[in-house]
């Protein structure tokens, strides 16, 4: 992992530079503060397990037939997302269509055209700078008699995005618009080689250069085997790889508002699962955009038809969503855009 490597090499060159590094980190941490904590709390309180539950049940229902990319069930799910944003009066940077169409030719053979769904709230000070909250909308589809509902994968992440969008909208209407623009991005084709994010990062609606960070959510409603006795956790992956500042902002948001155990085990480059490379955030990271991937780890229903809505831990989903909301709030409202580490790319 980057930070450890840097620290080690500094030890080798001498204590002066080690001191400088320690001092720099201390300064970085001291500069991160939620001056508007009360306001953040007000809108965190609008994120509720009951609303998240309603979203997960709706999005993972049989109506969408397992949301297989390019198939009628996924198109219907995309329409569901668009209708939600219309009903919440949240605009799209693409105007009235909300869809970023991806042609069949961009997919591997046998997969039909599909779409990312994009909504946003425009920043009032730095509208060209964007923070993207993403979650993939597709899943495994169905076989003859079995629908893969994908409640955790990724009904949970989708519900979190919808609930955060509503909270940011309410804040905007009540006089607290974001300084930067915040984008709600529902990516298609994650289950087929991260195609939706590959397309978005190749044909971005906002330039990659102006994309401050990507917070990507893929499965945050369950508890894995390693945490059966301590479910108050979330795996945080990638936060420190491109921006040390982003890592500390995430830690500060958690300390201030949620007190989850941020588990970095899966962020280790030596982790054999290599999750950092396995969901949509990676396409953003490859373009130099700092990312955080939020994940609950695998469980017995992962990619099984038994990944259903009644198995989601809704109080925990609420808490994890609040962590992401607080982090996003900081990223869009800080006076200074977060920095990418000079030695990161």
Q: Which residues bind Zn ion (CB under 5 A)?
A: 153-154, 218
Closer by beta carbon to Zn ion, 114 or else 154: 154
Q: Smaller CB distance to Zn ion: residue 102 or 135?
A: 135
- For the beta sheet containing 180-187, the strands, ordered from the edge strand earlier in sequence to the opposite edge, are 99-102, 114-121, 180-187, 126-136, 211-217, 291-295, 233-237, 261-263
Within 10 angstroms of residue 314's Cβ, the number of other Cβ atoms is 18
Pick between residue 54 and residue 192 the one whose CB is nearest to Zn ion.
Answer: 192
Quote the CA–CA distance of 39 and 59 in Å, as a whole number: 30
CA distance 109 to 127: 38
CB of 291 to Zn ion, least distance (A): 15
| Bridge partners (DSSP) listed for residue 135 | 186, 217
> Of 265 and 303, which CB lies nearer to Zn ion in the complex structure?
303
Beta carbon of residue 248, minimum distance to Zn ion (angstroms, whole number):
27
Query: With the C-alpha atoms ordered 219, 237, 42, 259, is the resulting torsion angle positive or negative?
Result: positive
**Residue of 121, 127, 167, 139 whose CA lies nearest to 337:** 127
Residue 218 vs 318, nearer CB to Zn ion? 218
Identify any residues that bridge with 43 across adjacent strands, giving them in sequence order: none
Question: Shortest CA distance to 282 belongs to which of 321, 338, 241, 340?
Answer: 241
Please report how close the Cβ of residue 69 comes to Zn ion at its closest, in angstroms: 12
* Residue 220 Cβ vs Zn ion, minimum distance, rounded to whole Å: 10
Least Å distance, CB 191 to Zn ion, is 7
């Amino acid at each position: 992992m980057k930070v450890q490597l840097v620290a080690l090499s500094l030890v080798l060159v001498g204590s002066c530079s080690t001191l400088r590094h320690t001092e720099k980190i201390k300064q970085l941490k001291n500069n991160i503060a939620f001056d508007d904590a009360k306001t953040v709390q007000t809108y965190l309180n609008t994120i509720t397990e009951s609303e998240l539950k309603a979203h997960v049940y709706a999005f993972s229902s049989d109506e969408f037939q397992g949301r297989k990319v390019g198939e009628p069930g996924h198109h219907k799910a995309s329409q569901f997302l668009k209708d939600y944003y219309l009903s919440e009066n949240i605009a799209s940077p693409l105007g009235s269509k909300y869809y970023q169409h991806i042609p069949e030719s961009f997919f591997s053979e046998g997969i039909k055209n599909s779409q990312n769904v994009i909504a946003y709230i425009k920043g009032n000070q730095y509208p060209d700078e964007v923070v993207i909250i993403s979650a993939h909308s597709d899943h495994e589809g169905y076989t003859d008699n079995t629908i893969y509902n994908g409640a955790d994968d990724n009904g949970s992440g989708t519900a979190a995005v919808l609930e955060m969008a509503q909270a940011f909208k309410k804040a905007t209407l009540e006089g607290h618009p974001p300084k930067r623009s915040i984008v709600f991005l529902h990516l298609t084709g994650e289950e087929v080689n991260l195609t939706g994010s590959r397309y978005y990062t190749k044909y971005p609606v906002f330039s990659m250069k102006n994309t401050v960070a990507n917070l990507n959510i893929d499965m945050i409603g369950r508890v894995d085997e390693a945490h059966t006795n301590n479910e108050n956790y979330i795996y945080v992956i990638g936060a420190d790889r491109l921006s040390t500042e982003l890592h500390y902002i995430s830690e500060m948001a958690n300390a201030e508002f949620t007190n989850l155990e941020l588990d970095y085990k899966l962020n280790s480059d030596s982790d054999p699962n290599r999750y950092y490379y396995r969901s949509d955030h990676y396409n953003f990271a490859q373009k130099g955009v700092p990312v955080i991937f939020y994940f609950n780890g695998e469980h017995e229903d992962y990619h099984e038809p038994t990944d259903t809505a009644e198995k989601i831990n809704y109080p925990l989903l609420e808490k994890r969503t609040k962590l992401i909301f607080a982090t996003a709030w900081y990223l869009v409202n800080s006076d200074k855009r977060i920095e990418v580490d000079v030695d990161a790319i």
